[in-house]
Amino acid sequence: MREKLLKILLQHKDGFVSGEKISLELGCSRTAVWKHIEELRKDGYEVDSAPRKGYRIIKKANGIQSHEVNIHLETERIGRSISYYDAIDSTQIIAHKLAQEGMEEGHIVIANEQTSGRGRLGRSWYSKGGTSISMSLILRPKLSPQQTPQLTLLSAVAVIRGVKKITGIDCEIKWPNDVLINGKKIVGILTEMQSDPDYVHSVIIGIGLNVNQQTTDFEPDIQRLATSLSIETGQQIERSRLIAAILGEFEWLYDEYLENGFSMIRGLWEAHAVSVGTYIYARTPKQVIYGYAQGITDEGVLLVQDEQGTIHHIYSADIEIAKQT
Ligand code: BTN
């Protein structure tokens, strides 16, 4: 009901829409309309009302509850069911639990704030309430465990395309899954799975996106490494629209991938990759490898040729792009 009411108000945002028209479209009494308007106001929406004119939405809350995402969502199954939390330890933990209980493919867990977000390589991920996007998507692809890193690369492409659609900004990808603007991190992606040795039960794609933070919202040691869409554009970005855009991009890329394989996704990924075709330092848990990043394999493994000509297969590492001398 609230989703429908919001849609009607947004469709008429340049003028008033009468209580009678809303009550007819919603199939409820005008008193019920008024009650729903009051609920929207409590949620942070500014709604003007005038006798004989009706209602007009003035300011939208920058929320990410399911009805707010649904308004913009154009997918068939990705994000069509949502679990929303105002504050939660980690959306990954909830998504894993739901997947174990049999939750269908396409379900997403969204949190306004994470108190103990998880990052790659055992690190933590800080998500300030009200400004960032923290979401975990449950997938059930018929893939071998070795193929699942391809979904990380696909996710990075989906995020980049969603960000471009909403903000016009071009982002870059640093292998395997950091999305950057001008060399500063804007998105982190964490792919985890529940699997047997040769069978994947589910893949959980966790996406953390810096949206409306200002520089001082980041910890001092992070400030030179991270940025947000708001810092880069000077504007407040509507998080629900951005989520819907990313999920829209994800759905068609995922369908293409399931039908025709990795090749197109690989091309799109490489077109945005700054860490390929250049000299890099790859810091793996065991050693630091310096060399020329040749590209990725079909499994998403990074190939680095060192100065002796040896080609290293990098499965997991932090990448630093070497300065040109
Ligand atoms: C990275 O280290 O770059 C990956 C960070 C992934 C963070 C996201 S936020 C949503 C989801 N929930 C988590 O706890 N982590 C991921």
pLDDT at 134 > cutoff 90: yes
The reply to whether ligand 1 has any atom less than 6 angstroms from the CB of 96 is: no
Atom 10 (ligand 1) nearest CA:
134
Report pLDDT for 46: 85
Determine the atom of ligand 1 nearest the C-alpha atom of 209: 9
- Model pTM greater than 0.85? yes
Q: Report the atom number in ligand 1 closest to the C-alpha of 135.
A: 10
- Identify the pLDDT of residue 52: 86
The helix/strand/coil state of 4 is helix
- β-pair partners for 48: 56
C-alpha to C-alpha distance for 198 and 280, rounded to whole angstroms: 33
**pLDDT above 80: residue 282:** yes
Q: Whose CA is nearest to atom 9 of ligand 1?
A: 208
Strand partners, 178: 174
Ligand 1 site, residue 191, Cβ cutoff 6 A = no
Ligand 1 contact via 176 beta carbon (within 6 Å): no
| Low-confidence winner among 29-33, 115-119, 180-184, 252-256 (lowest mean pLDDT) | 29-33
Indicate whether 317 pLDDT > 90.
no
CA-177 nearest atom, ligand 1: 3
DSSP for 63-126, written as a single string: --SHHHHHHH---SSTTSSEEEEEEES-HHHHHHHHHHTTPPTT-EEEEEEEEEEE-GGG-EEE
Of 58-72, 126-140, 246-260, which has the strongest mean pLDDT?
246-260
Taken in order of first residue, the domains within the chain and their CATH numbers are 2-59 (1.10.10.10), 66-271 (3.30.930.10), 279-321 (2.30.30.100)
pLDDT at 59 over 80: no
Confidence of residue 325 (pLDDT cuts 50, 70, 90): low
pLDDT digits (tens, 9 = 90+) for 88-118: 999 999 999 999 999 999 999 999 999 999 9
State the Cα angle at 118 between 206 and 238, rounded to 5°. Answer: 50
- Give me the pLDDT at residue 299, please: 80
Residue pair 173/179 in contact by the 8 Å Cβ criterion: yes
